[in-house]
Amino acid sequence: MAKKRLTSVFVCLKSTTTPTQFGGGKSSGFGLVYDTVNDAKRFEPKYRLIRQGLVEKVETSRKQIKEAKNRAKKVRGVGRRIARHKAAKANK
C-alpha cells in the first residue's frame, strides 16, 4: 500500500523491505528513489531491473552456460575475463 502511494508521488521507485510492527498500525521500509528511469537503469543491478520489468531477461540454455563455464576453466588469470567476453559474444 505504501509503495503505491510513493509511486504516485515519485517518477521511479524501487521499494525493498517493508516490515510491519507486531500489532499493526506502523510499518517502516527502505526504498531507492531515482529521478528518471534512465538513472535507475544506470545504477541498479540487472537482477533488480528484471524484477521491476525495466529490462528483459536474456534466456540462455543450460548447455550454453555449461560450455561457457568449461571454456573459462581452461584459461587462467587475466585471460579468463577475455574468454568470458568471447563466450558472451558467441551466445548473442
**15 to 4, 10, 41, 80, 92: CA distances (angstroms):** 10, 12, 15, 36, 32
Task: Tell me the domains of the chain and their CATH numbers.
Answer: 2-52 (3.30.70.3370), 62-91 (no CATH)
What residue ranges of the chain have pLDDT lower than 70? 1-3, 7, 11-17, 20
Exposed e or buried b for every residue in 66-80, given b needs 16+ CB within 10 A?
A: eebeeebeeeeeeee
Q: What is the per-residue pLDDT for 2?
A: 67
Q: What is the per-residue pLDDT for 56?
A: 93
Q: What is the pTM of this model?
A: 0.54
Amino acid at 51: R
Query: Containing H/E element for 3?
Result: helix 2-9
Q: Is 85 left (phi over 0), alpha (psi -120 to 50) or beta?
A: alpha
